[in-house]
């Protein structure tokens, strides 16, 4: 199977040098023919250590939700808006998101899933081109550039606010159904 670096060599080369940091870079990972793609914000420290998205605390929380709704992690594709961990894990900047966006678009085009699940406000606003609060954006799917986009909470948000757990699970069940129907 083609690896990430060769599949997206052109887009990787096009990311301006100042946004690229090999020592903090984490590529997208998963099946090239996945029916469900998850887009997070940016890798954390465990992701950088292991070179895989969503393998730290937020990833383990996500795994629990996936089990709950019957999505097999081995069947999906996981990636991030920004592929390099930011200093101090701060929020991604507009410039960083713009720099990495063509690569994300190429990943979505290549995998061409039935549904793109945006985890958290950054991924949701970016992929929907909206600026409103996530609580108002979620609860429905959107058709964007030939893809169905489903905005929902970031699994890490449940560490601070457990009241969103049922909503996140509901959203992921919708994603599971859309993936299964495709």
| Residue carrying the six token digits 């420290």 | 45
Check binding of 116 to ligand URA (CB under 6 A): no
Check binding of 151 to ligand URA (CB under 6 A): no
Check binding of 28 to ligand URA (CB under 6 A): no
**Range in contact with ligand URA (rule: CB under 6 A) among 15-23, 40-48, 135-143, 144-152:** 40-48
The CA-CA-CA angle for residues 74, 75, 76, to 5°, reads 100
C-beta of 57: minimal distance to ligand URA in Å?
Answer: 8
Query: Per DSSP, what are the bridge partners of residue 37?
Result: 77, 116
The one among 27, 28, 59, 151 contacting ligand URA by CB under 6 A: 59
Q: What is the rounded CA–CA span in Å between residue 26 and residue 163?
A: 30
Q: Which is nearer to ligand URA, 50 or 182 (CB)?
A: 50
Strand ranges inside 31-92, DSSP E: 36-40, 77-80
Q: Which is nearer to ligand URA, 165 or 177 (CB)?
A: 165
Chain-centroid distance of CA 129 in Å reads 15
Binding site for ligand URA (CB under 6 A): 40-44, 47, 53-54, 56, 58-59, 80
């Amino acid at each position: 199977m083609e690896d990430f670096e060769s599949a997206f060599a052109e887009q990787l080369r096009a990311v301006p040098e100042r946004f690229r940091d090999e020592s903090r870079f984490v590529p997208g990972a998963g099946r090239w023919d996945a029916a469900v793609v998850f887009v997070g914000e940016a890798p954390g420290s465990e992701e950088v250590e292991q070179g895989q998205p969503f393998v730290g605390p937020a990833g383990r929380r996500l795994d629990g939700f996936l089990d709950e709704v019957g999505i097999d992690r081995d069947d999906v594709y996981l990636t991030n808006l920004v592929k390099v961990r930011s200093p101090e894990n701060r929020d991604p900047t507009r410039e960083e998101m713009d720099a990495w966006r063509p690569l994300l678009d190429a990943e979505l085009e290549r995998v061409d899933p039935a549904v793109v699940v945006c985890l958290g406000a950054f991924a949701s606003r970016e992929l929907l081109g909206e600026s409103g609060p996530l609580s108002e954006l979620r609860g429905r799917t959107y058709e964007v550039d030939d893809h169905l986009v489903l905005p929902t909470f970031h699994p890490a948000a449940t560490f601070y606010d457990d009241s969103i757990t049922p909503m996140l699970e509901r959203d992921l069940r919708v994603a599971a159904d859309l993936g299964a129907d495709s």
